[in-house]
């Protein structure tokens, strides 16, 4: 099964740590990062898709993807 997650966060070190944590757990960057202005908070937000292949596990809609 291929898992997909879209990580988002403020444009600061916490976002970089979130992506670094996922990559260190075997997730792979998928596509280009995104960068957008959040008008509500008047700040920039970052996003990055990550994917991971998991053998022997069937997808369930209720599964917590970050556990992998």
pLDDT surpassing 90 at residue 66: no
Residue 17 confidence (pLDDT): 98
Q: DSSP characters for 7-50? A: EEEESSHHHHHHHHHHHHTT-EEEEEEEEEEETTTTEEEEEEEE
Percent above pLDDT 70 for the chain: 100
Indicate the pLDDT class of residue 26, thresholds 50, 70 and 90.
Answer: very high
Buried-exposed string 26-63: b where 16+ CB fall within 10 A, e elsewhere? ebeeeeeeeeeeeeeeeeeebbbbbebeeeeeeeeeee
Percent above pLDDT 90 for the chain: 94
The residue-averaged pLDDT of 55-60 equals 93
pTM summary value: 0.86
Provide the token pair at 37.
Answer: 């202005």
Provide the token pair at 18.
Answer: 């979130």
The residue-averaged pLDDT of 36-50 equals 97
């Amino acid at each position: 099964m291929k898992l997909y997650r879209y990580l988002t966060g403020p444009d600061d070190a916490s976002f970089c740590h979130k992506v670094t944590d996922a990559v260190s757990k075997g997730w792979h960057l998928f596509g280009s990062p995104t960068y957008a202005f959040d008008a509500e908070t008047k700040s920039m937000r970052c996003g990055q898709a990550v994917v991971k292949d998991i053998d022997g596990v069937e997808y369930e809609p209720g599964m917590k993807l970050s556990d992998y």
